[in-house]
Amino acid sequence: MQQYLLFAIVGLGFGCIYAAISMGVVITYRGTGIINFATGAMAMWGAYVFDELNRTGDLVFPVAIIPHKVSLGDGVGSVPFALALVLAVLSCSLIGLLVHFLVFRPLRRAPILARVVASVGVLLAIQALIVMQFTSTPRAVAPILPNEPVDFAGISFSRDRLWLTGVVIVIAVAMWAWFRFTRLGLATRASAENERAIGLARFSPQVLAGSTWVLSSTVVGFIVILTSPTVILNPLTYVLAIVPALAAALIGRLSSIAVTVTAALALGMVQSIVVFQTTKAWWPEWAKAGLSDALPFVVIVIALFVVGDSLPSRGAVESDPLPEVYRPKMRTAVIAPVVIGAGVVATLTSGSYRFGIITSMIVTIIMLSLVVLTGLVGQISLAQAGIAGTAGFALSKLGDAAGIPFPISPLLAALVATVFGVLIGIPALRIRGAQLAVVTLAGAVALEKFIFRNTQLAEAAGNPIADPTLFGLDMGIREGRTIARVEFAILVLLVVTVCSILVGNLARSATGRRFLAVRSNERAGASVGISIANTKLLAFGIASFLAGVGGAFLGYSRGQLSADSFTVMVGLSFLAFAYLGGITTVSGAIIAGTFAPLGIGFVILDRALDIGTAYQILAGIGLVLTAIFNPEGIAGANRKNFDKMRAGLAARAAAKAAPVDGDDAAGAGTVGPEAVPTAAAPAPRATQRPSFDDAPVVLAINELTVRYGGLKAVDDASLRVREGEIVGLIGPNGAGKTTMIDALTGFIPSEGRIEFCGAELTTEQPYQRARLGLSRTWQSLELFGDLSVRENVQVADERATVGSVLADFVKPARPVDLTRVDSALDLVGLAGDADVRPGDLPLGRQKLVGVARALASSPRVMLADEPAAGLDTAESRALGREIIDIAEGGVSILLVDHDMGLVLEVCDYIYVLDFGQIIAEGTAADIRANEAVIDAYLGSEVHT
């Protein structure tokens, strides 16, 4: 028991570090909505500054190249302790302020991906700056707090553990009180939830965000400096403490400082006790190393599974769109010269230059995995190096050692990586955005510490990987004094070419469309029959396979599995370079591979400028700048410049060809504005529409109830929709109409009975209901912004099979039957706009895209949620005509709208909802005459 107590108290030291960093994460998140992966790195700067002041009296500034230090010690060495502490803490505050002004303020409206990438950029830059200014030699920091031994209950431990814990608790209470009781603290919390409201209350949201950054970096810096004598300080010490700190912060739901700090202290203690357990004789040898590092991953996965939601809810915060995706055709005329050029250069070079080219090509394969996962599907993964590493690791076990020949062994190794990747991706089914980055980061740490650095699993002496041979030909990288043979370079070129073509094809295929649909809008994707879970897991699988292929070849290129090639920091730099190159395109992956560390770009720069450590700083800064100014990366910028140049040349050529003057008017006539939909009034229905009394019921809702906490948004509502019928559902704002559609389509749980085409719907997911024929449109558009109008509609019509996904890699543009897509577009008059993006259309026509999309899946019933909102009278009447046409095609419609003219005109039967209850039903004439309806809803509208 005493031993347990001793280890628990020893673990308090790490617990305090986790508590400090997790507190910083929570404060920053509460004040700015940003999960800052660089929290540990920023505070570590303070620890180094403090130590340097104590050792040499030099105050080091967070800058590179320009003069970066002043001597305060008058040449006698250290400065007074208190002064050193104050200056070191202030340097952390300064970093917080700089990070706010230079990085996150410009990114305040950027998508989550950009913010995650930027915080990774800050992490990399600061870590590299530390190596540059303080070297990576480990340091033992002189004691700060009293550290004489304490004897208690038969054990003896250092007093500083108690001091540290006390300091952490006092500061945690102070932070809690600050958020709870001070005006500024309250305003900071509120501003994270609603910037505009706080703006109205005369607080500047940006001042609040800036003060949050300063507060959190000061607090974390102060505690981290105090903890620095309890660890050996090296440039990674605090950087990766972010993982257990994030685990604690997630347990505190990124909001409760008390829960977070308690969890952090407990995690430190539990980790220490786990380490103690692993010293026992009965503990399996293979599970000894790295287990405590894997623990936060388990905690994070559990915490996120408990906290996360499988689909974003209505009203989830929207931000700017993700970097634009460009999906060019894989043209031989473009690919062949690039491949031949690369082959020639690889043949003509030698030594480290050829090795650089090989490394670039291999890293490109791993970058392609990020293009698929992050670029196309929007899932942020910081674990791609780790996943690549599992393949390298598997190859060292599966290759010659197990008698499996090339190329089967790397393929098998990549399949092993696929399994790991899909496992790491499972949390993505419930979580997204920065939280997914957290899980994958924790997964990468677990892989590195528990597997790659586990001497029981990976031999300490190295895990040799035999050279590949093909048809008796030695394709190995080394021979004698040659460090990079051309045979290996050509082999890698072949592999990277095939992978690039496959990814390029995938992006343009039906699978690519589904990926982009999920990236744009998961809820809308589910509503058109896309299984979000399968799509994400497929993406994780493909990406992991690619990373695995890259990892296997990285293994071949090194001759043995080296954990150093697949560390967490390598994984972070992969994301950094993928984003820099352009994370949405194959060309971006190639650029990223070119400039990645040890790639050819790096080799050339290093030879020319002896750039060394500065490279990582430049990469970090470049990453931040890319996130702010150029989210499509270098490839995107190149493409835009190229497009501009082409447009310029075309304009010049056109100007030359054009007649000197005249003809303008004739031209103007042909390019006039698109015809606004003509206001063809719906024909008087009574004469045209049949009676539906005897038609079979397709949708029967019985006593449907939906609760939001104590509120019954839908209360015991029953209604029927018959085959071919247009049924209206009207009611005042907040009556529960959208909630009813959400419940029918499976987006929120409900009580009661929903019968669709004779069968009861119970646990079916939204995508399954859509496939059964229950489709919907959205009040708030929810279109897929990255796809053209036609593709928006097409995704609703396409269904994935194993065969179709495999074929998508090879032949993305197979002839498919587009009859349903075309007729849906025709029906709503969008055939002429099929190739533009929905965002380029006026609102009215965007609404019609939603209608066409809902129609493309051949629904039995379409639930149309306020399709006329935002339309003018003419557009609304045209829509009415289209709704009647759709119903005449056999689709039943439940129409929710506030446009009474439209509803009363086109609907065969109408239900009126008020406070979640059906208060009236009948034909348009019945509803017009119903006093209760007039009182509750129609009011003067009908009397006039």
Residues interacting with ligand ATP, by CB under 6 A? Answer: 313-314, 708, 711, 713, 731, 733-739, 779
CA angle 657, 658, 663 (to 5 degrees): 160
User: Helix (H, G, I), strand (E, B), or coil: what is residue 863?
Assistant: strand
d(Cα 102, Cα 110) in Å, to the nearest integer? 14
Bridging pattern class, strands 909-914 and 726-730: parallel
Structure tokens at 491: 């082999």
As a whole number of angstroms, the distance between CA 66 and CA 19 comes to 35
Contact 245, 18 (CB under 8 A): yes
Beta-strand runs (E) in 56-207: 58-60, 69-71, 139-140, 149-152, 155-158
User: What does the alpha-carbon distance between residue 441 and residue 247 come to, in Å, rounded to a whole number?
Assistant: 11
Name which of 547, 618, 568 is nearest 374 in CA terms.
547
CA 226-227-232 angle, to 5 degrees, is 125
Q: Is 363 helix (H, G, I), strand (E, B) or coil?
A: helix
Residue of 81, 3, 8, 14 whose CA lies nearest to 230: 14
Nearest one of 393, 383, 428, 385 to 243, comparing CA atoms: 383
Contact 423, 386 (CB under 8 A): no
Six-digit token pair at 271?
């980790």
Rg (CA), the chain: 31
Residue 732 DSSP one-character state: S
Choose among 769, 640, 674, 722: nearest CA to 892: 722
Residue 169 CA to residue 223 CA, distance in Å, equals 11
Q: Give the C-alpha distances (Å, rounded to integers) separating 499 from 441, 768, 810.
A: 25, 33, 11
- Distance of alpha carbon 674 from alpha carbon 463, whole angstroms: 66
31 closest CA partner among 203, 154, 156: 203
CA distance 868 to 895: 10
746/527 Cα distance (integer angstroms): 9
> Which amino acid belongs to residue 76?
V
Separation between Cα atoms, residue 705 and residue 718, nearest integer Å? 9
Strand blocks (E) in 118-209: 139-140, 149-152, 155-158
Contacts of 314 (CB under 8 A, 6+ apart): 738, 742, 747
DSSP-assigned letter for residue 684 = P
**762/741 Cα distance (integer angstroms):** 15
Please state whether the peptide bond connecting residue 337 to the residue before it is cis, i.e. omega within 30 degrees of 0: no
Distance between CA 926 and CA 944 in Å, rounded? 17
Angle at which helices 568-581 and 614-629 cross, to 10°? 50
For the bound state, the minimum distance from the C-beta of residue 316 to ligand ATP, rounded and expressed in Å, comes to 10
End-to-end CA, the chain: 84
Distance CA 663, CA 669 (A): 10
Q: Where are the alpha helices (DSSP H) in 33-159?
A: 39-56, 81-99, 112-134
Identify whether the C-beta of residue 396 lies closer than 8 Å to the C-beta of residue 563.
no
Reference 569, options 711, 691, 389, 423; nearest CA is 389
**H-run or E-run covering 428:** none
Structure tokens given for 76: 């006698």
* Residue listed under structure tokens 């558009």: 781
